[in-house]
Amino acid sequence: MIKQVIKKSMLLAALLGASVAAFAQSNPVDTKGVVPYVIDNRGLVAKSGTGLCWRTGFWTPAAAENTMAGQFPVGCECDKDLLPKGKCDAAAAATASKAAATPKPTGDKITLNADALFDFNKATLKPAGKEALDELYVKVKRIKLEVLIAVGHADRFGSDAYNQKLSEKRAEAVKAYLVSKGIEKNRIYTEGKGKKNPVTKPDECKGPKSAKVVACLQPDRRVDVEAVGIYSWE
């Protein structure tokens, strides 16, 4: 079943359905010039409805700290608890002042939950999934797109690591399809949630792997897509 919800919101930044990425484990890198957060066209960091900043793949603690003195001083705003104590007060005050002085345009959120995008253990879009994304694309064409976020999911069968990779591939499949339709690649962000956020309830789809159980778990094999932008009737 495909559910579509279109609604007005008060803050464009608050429309981003996002989650904070896991703490970076990579080696320190040169963070000069790197912006580790998604920045909208107003120069403000994009946030989820709960106030969490949307991180890019460039995020590391060092990159977050580097933003305090950079073009986008949002490291303290987003990750104050991870940065050196005492360095964030002035930066946070400056960021708050900028946000208060910036007009906050209204926007529209289009959320598509397509529960028939993928077959079991596959990351290839089904025809029904393409039709769902075609419908989304028609609506995206009517807004001045700021950002589109695709979050992949998997059902419970398989290891955590395997399903994490599978969910990421599913999100990338959706991105590739939407790019082929004409959406700019740099406006689409992807993320995989593995099997951590099933749609089915714990008392549903019980039993070992079988054709019946696999079919029951179909809603969990999905990608949630959210497009945010300023609406236009032209």
How confident is the model at residue 73, as a pLDDT? 58
Measured in whole angstroms, the distance separating CA 165 from the mean position of its chain's CA atoms is 16
Q: How far apart are CA 220 and CA 170, in angstroms?
A: 12
Q: Are strands 107-114 and 223-231 parallel, antiparallel or unpaired?
A: antiparallel
The pLDDT value recorded for residue 54 is 83
Q: What is the mean pLDDT of each run of 10 residues along the chain (234 residues)?
A: 35 33 33 66 72 81 66 66 68 59 52 72 87 88 86 92 94 94 92 92 90 91 84 53
d(CA 183, CA 43): 21
- What gap in Å lies between CA 123 and CA 207, rounded to an integer? 24
- DSSP element (H, E) containing 65: helix 61-66
Cα dihedral sign for 27, 31, 34, 36? positive
Residues 113 and 4: their CA atoms lie apart, in Å, by 7
Asked if residues 134 and 41 have their Cβ atoms less than 8 Å apart, the reply is no
Q: Are strands 143-152 and 223-231 parallel, antiparallel or unpaired?
A: antiparallel
Domain residue spans of the chain: 10-105, 107-231
CA–CA distance, 64 with 54 (Å, rounded to integer): 12
- Output the CATH code of domain 107-231: 3.30.1330.60
β-strand partners of 144: 230
CB-CB contact of 38 with 1 (8 Å): no
**Is the Cβ–Cβ distance between 95 and 75 less than 8 Å?**
no
pLDDT at 140: 86
Residues 120 and 221: beta-carbon distance below 8 Å: yes
Question: pLDDT at position 24, please?
Answer: 31
Q: Could you tell me the sign of the dihedral formed by the alpha carbons of 187, 45, 76, 225, in that order? A: negative
The amino acid at residue 178 is L
